[in-house]
Chain A
Amino acid sequence: MSTPVLEVSGLTAGYDGAPVVRDVDLTVAAGQVVALLGANGAGKTTTLKAISALLRPMAGTVTFAGTPLDRIPAATRARLGIAHVPEGRGIFSGLTVAEHLRLGHRGERLDEAAAYRYFPVLSRLKDRRAGLLSGGEQQMLAMGRALARRPKLLLLDELSLGLAPIIVEELLPVVRRYADDSGCGVLLVEQHVGLALEVADHGYVLSHGEITTHAAARELDADQARIVAGYLGEHPV
């Protein structure tokens, strides 16, 4: 196997000196969709934040496409090709959809066409301000913007937050399709375990800040008991 897009090892991170996740190891390969599962407060969001440097880890390394990221700040990591769609979407409600897809850092041109291709709805809404979009449309915009940046690694945090299940069922297959088309590695945090495992290649279960189980998605899906054990905080026998 070639160099994985993301390699996290021994990651410990938290807030105000209190660790939330401890000693996390995980790997995402190119074109792979990896689901990060776990109960509320297990540390899924914290893990993503540490990867994109919104949070400085207390220990451990994050390696992106073979390069250790060490103390590289968030904006620079974003420029290297990490796209993080944070919980609560991370869009700018005062900017129009089209402006979102123009907003790049210096020297960056976003691939608007890709965003409209994967989310055709957005092309009808070009001149609407993001604050006026529905929740599902906002989530599509957030993802569309992330795709338009041609990322090598996509971090998706709780796409389903506050959305109707039917919309989630639409969004997740797009993630799969994008990973297959572009070879982008995806790390997906999701509450809807079944839906997530349907599109994922591999799954990790976080429990109380530690990875308790990981396996191929199909295996995990078949053996739900292991996930339940992870959610309830028991180690697999």
Chain B
Amino acid sequence: MDQILLFAVLGLGQGALIAGIALGVVVTYRGSGIINLATGAVAMASAYIFWALTSGFFGFTLPTVAALIGALVAALAIGVLIEVAVFRPLRTVSPLAKLAASLGILLTLQATVLLVFGTQPQQAPSVLPGETVTVLGITTPADRFLLTGLVIAIALALGALYRWSRFGLATRAASENEQAALLAGLSPNGISLANTLLAALVAGLLGVLAAPIVQVDSITLPLQVVPALAAALFAGFTSLWIACTAGILIGVLQSIVYFLSTQSWFPTDNGNAMPGLQQLLVFVLMVVALYVRGAGLPRRGEAVEQRLPAVPLPERLLRPALLAAVVAAAALVVLPFDFRQALTNSMIGMVIVLSYVVITGYVGQISVMQLAISGTAGFALSHVAIQLRVPFPFDALGATLLATLLGVAAGISALRVRGVSLAVVTLAAALAMEQALFGNTSFGGTAGVSVPPPRLFGVNLGPGADFRGLDGNEPSPMFGFLVLAVTVVLGLYVAHLRRTGLGRRMLAVRSNERAAAAAGVDVRAVKIAAFAISSFIASVAGTLYGYNFGSVSAARFTALAALGLIGFAYIGGITMVSGAVIAGLMSTEALLPHALDKWFGIKGTWALLFGGVSLIVTLIANPDGIAGAGHRRRAAKRAARAAARVSEPDGPHPEGEHHAPAALDTTEVAS
């Protein structure tokens, strides 16, 4: 019992950090309506700068207090940058696009920290006194209590600020009705800036103070935003004291779970305690929070209409598909082996992004889980093929089916959760699956599980096949052909889906679920269909991953990798198949990063930075992505040609009938 109490107290440190980030999340949401996934990353950046200032990284060493002030100034500077460069230009976009933008900030901050400070985890000195106190017979470090007291004091101060001050009143007013706030002489920009700065200050302070407890690296602190989001969900993104309490309690619970996992009766995996239970706990808590609070977030009254990215109707399918297939097939034979591998990786990346085109582009829901479903399929493939000795292609089909069922089950249970809440809860799910499922050696394991090469009628279709292309090296183009065939078929299917009745119903659900339901669209059925199609595509990609490397490892299917992939999908154009092609070319170990690395020596971290920044730029300047911009240009050219033809009396009529079903989406009508 004493032990449990001890671990509960130790967990207060983590809890205070989570509570601090949760306060930052709530304050940002109240100020600007953005669920800022980068709040943890701000804490990370401050912690790193504090470490750098105290350890002589910049060539000088500051005393602790001065370094703390320096780190807080840096947090404020990051806050100003975030507000001016990201939040302000994106005031009027949809909440989901704002969430994606905060993802861009997260990736950018992470890449910057990696580039400046390196990958080595650092141990920052403690600001708080290192003494111990004895409470109820147990001796614990005093800093846990100090941190908790501090975060509670911050929550109370913020609460009082919002309740009674003019600024708090203005913030509440502006978050409810931006236009009326303007008419009242309030400046929503100024209010938003002040709140963003407050959030950055709180997150930065807790990052610095709690860093000695958790360790400073580029993953742990940014991902603390996930339990913080669980706390914020309990608080309905409004109540500061609930966010604070829930954050502290989550930290305490995680610590108790850790203690329990050291007990002898605790289920083990290969001699170690079951992994990932803390992440699983966070996910379960999020589900509970959504159940208790209802799925909706407080509605905000932004001043301007929110525009969704256009989903143009694909006019021609076969010609570009055939052309691309021929080019890719030729490239697979001609290219040297490393580029061949990169091309194969690109195509697998395209397939994964296609699953996002369906679920995010067509139906407007961000499900971070899709990559985890890929992973599930990959690991399942290994088990089905090796332990059950199922031959190709039935092993892949079985694994795909299994993972698709998981995706559909997740989709059905998430039917009532939509938009930003869905993105948040699937992020927690992805993290839980990464740790608890893929990290568990009886199913996955970080070391990886092997996958036998695909053989059909005795012909090896895997990367080790005999036909080796022009340079005679592995991987074999045979496997590339297999991936190409799958990519083309799925790409054609997704493009075709846009033309079908189901595709139009998906767009109707994306625009307005209630209106769609009122128009006779079965919203639930459409969503389940979308989850099924998207999960199927993601699962296929997962099995291809498995064959590609002859093994599956957890590192490929992390939640952070999923976030990066969503970023690339937005940059390419999340609503179009051509966007998925572009996103695939940019994804991890694909052609673009490989070429940059090989020819210019630009490493992956720079690609991460590039991805983060271009995600933000894309959302601000060109929400339809690269593919959407290209499509607009072509459409304008065609319209100009058609106009020229119409002016000749006998000229053929422009292809107007193709656009008839597009009336579902107002942006298409306008263009």
| Physical interaction between A and B | yes
Q: Could you tell me which A residues sit within 8 Å of B by CB distance?
A: 16, 52, 54, 74-76, 78-79, 83-84, 86, 90-95, 99, 102-106, 108, 145, 149
Mark the stretch among B171-179, B269-277, B528-536 that contacts chain A. Answer: B171-179
Residues of B within 8 A of A108 (CB): 185
Residues of B within 8 A of A91 (CB): 177, 180
B169 contact from A74, A83, A95, Cβ within 8 A:
A95
In the complex with contacts A102-B169, A103-B170, A92-B180 CB distance below 8 A: yes
CA distance A16 to B303 in the complex (A): 15
CA distance A4 to B347 in the complex (A): 69
B166 interface residue (CB < 8 Å to A): yes
Q: How far is the CB of A77 from chain B (nearest CB, A)?
A: 8
**Pairs across A and B, CB under 8 Å, 24 listed:** A52-B183, A54-B182, A54-B183, A74-B182, A75-B182, A75-B187, A78-B182, A78-B184, A86-B180, A90-B180, A91-B177, A92-B177, A92-B180, A94-B176, A95-B176, A102-B166, A102-B169, A103-B166, A103-B186, A105-B170, A105-B186, A108-B185, A145-B184, A149-B185
Contact A75 B180 (CB under 8 A): no
CA distance A149 to B186 in the complex (A): 13
Residues of A within 8 A of B184 (CB): 78, 103-105, 145, 149
Contact B173 A95 (CB under 8 A): yes
Contact A78 B173 (CB under 8 A): no
Closest partner residue, chain B, to A94 (CB atom): B176
Contact B177 A104 (CB under 8 A): no
Residues of B within 8 A of A16 (CB): 670
Contact B172 A74 (CB under 8 A): no
Contact A92 B176 (CB under 8 A): yes
Closest partner residue, chain B, to A145 (CB atom): B184
Closest partner residue, chain B, to A52 (CB atom): B183
CA distance A83 to B166 in the complex (A): 19
Residues of A within 8 A of B182 (CB): 54, 74-75, 78
Closest partner residue, chain B, to A99 (CB atom): B169
Q: How far is the CB of B168 from chain A (nearest CB, A)?
A: 10
Residues of A within 8 A of B176 (CB): 92-95
Classify chain B's interface size: 10 to 19
CA distance A78 to B303 in the complex (A): 16
Give the total number of A-B pairs whose CB atoms are below 8 A apart: 64
Contact B173 A74 (CB under 8 A): no
Closest partner residue, chain B, to A80 (CB atom): B185
Residues of B within 8 A of A74 (CB): 182-183
CB within 8 Å of A: which of B143-190?
Answer: 166, 169-170, 172-173, 176-177, 179-187
* Interface-central residue, A52, A78, A83, A149, by most chain B CB under 10 Å: A78
Q: How far is the CB of B646 from chain A (nearest CB, A)?
A: 23
Q: How far is the CB of B96 from chain A (nearest CB, A)?
A: 23
A92 contact from B166, B173, B303, Cβ within 8 A:
B173
Residues of A within 8 A of B185 (CB): 75-76, 78-79, 104-105, 108, 149
CA distance A234 to B594 in the complex (A): 70
**Interface of A (DSSP majority class):** loop
CA distance A91 to B169 in the complex (A): 13
Contact B179 A90 (CB under 8 A): yes
Q: How far is the CB of B307 from chain A (nearest CB, A)?
A: 11
Residues of A within 8 A of B170 (CB): 103, 105
Closest partner residue, chain B, to A110 (CB atom): B184
Contact B169 A103 (CB under 8 A): yes
Known: A99-B169, A104-B184. 14 other contacts (CB 8 A): A78-B182, A83-B183, A86-B183, A90-B177, A91-B180, A95-B176, A102-B166, A103-B166, A103-B169, A103-B173, A103-B184, A103-B186, A105-B185, A105-B187
In the complex with contacts A104-B166, A106-B166, A95-B172 CB distance below 8 A: yes
Closest partner residue, chain A, to B169 (CB atom): A103
Q: How far is the CB of A46 from chain B (nearest CB, A)?
A: 14
In the complex with contacts A79-B185, A105-B185, A54-B179 CB distance below 8 A: yes
Residues of B within 8 A of A78 (CB): 182-185
CA distance A90 to B185 in the complex (A): 13
CA distance A105 to B179 in the complex (A): 14
In the complex with contacts A91-B177, A104-B166, A106-B166, A84-B172 CB distance below 8 A: no
Residues of B within 8 A of A102 (CB): 166, 169
A86 contact from B172, B179, B186, Cβ within 8 A:
B179
CA distance A86 to B166 in the complex (A): 23
Q: How far is the CB of B238 from chain A (nearest CB, A)?
A: 9
CA distance A52 to B179 in the complex (A): 11
CA distance A54 to B176 in the complex (A): 17
Q: How far is the CB of B379 from chain A (nearest CB, A)?
A: 48
Q: How far is the CB of A14 from chain B (nearest CB, A)?
A: 15
Closest partner residue, chain A, to B238 (CB atom): A94
Q: How far is the CB of A199 from chain B (nearest CB, A)?
A: 23
Residues of B within 8 A of A84 (CB): 183
CA distance A54 to B183 in the complex (A): 8
Residues of A within 8 A of B187 (CB): 75, 105
In the complex with contacts A95-B172, A95-B173, A103-B173, A90-B183 CB distance below 8 A: yes
Q: Mark B22-39, 1 if CB is under 8 A from A, else 0.
A: 000000000000000000
CA distance A102 to B184 in the complex (A): 11
Residues of B within 8 A of A105 (CB): 170, 184-187
CA distance A90 to B184 in the complex (A): 9
Residues of A within 8 A of B186 (CB): 75, 103, 105
Closest partner residue, chain B, to A108 (CB atom): B185
Contact A92 B172 (CB under 8 A): yes
Residues of A within 8 A of B180 (CB): 86, 90-92
CA distance A76 to B185 in the complex (A): 6
Residues of A within 8 A of B169 (CB): 95, 99, 102-103
Residues of A within 8 A of B303 (CB): 54
CA distance A125 to B169 in the complex (A): 18
CA distance A95 to B180 in the complex (A): 13
Residues of B within 8 A of A75 (CB): 182, 185-187
Residues of B within 8 A of A145 (CB): 184
CA distance A106 to B166 in the complex (A): 8
Closest partner residue, chain B, to A85 (CB atom): B183
Residues of B within 8 A of A104 (CB): 166, 184-185
CA distance A93 to B186 in the complex (A): 17
CA distance A74 to B183 in the complex (A): 6
CA distance A102 to B185 in the complex (A): 13
Closest partner residue, chain A, to B167 (CB atom): A106
Q: How far is the CB of B125 from chain A (nearest CB, A)?
A: 41
* Interface-central residue, B170, B179, B185, B186, by most chain A CB under 10 Å: B185
Closest partner residue, chain A, to B180 (CB atom): A90
CB within 8 Å of A: which of B292-312?
Answer: 303
Closest partner residue, chain A, to B186 (CB atom): A105
CA distance A106 to B187 in the complex (A): 10
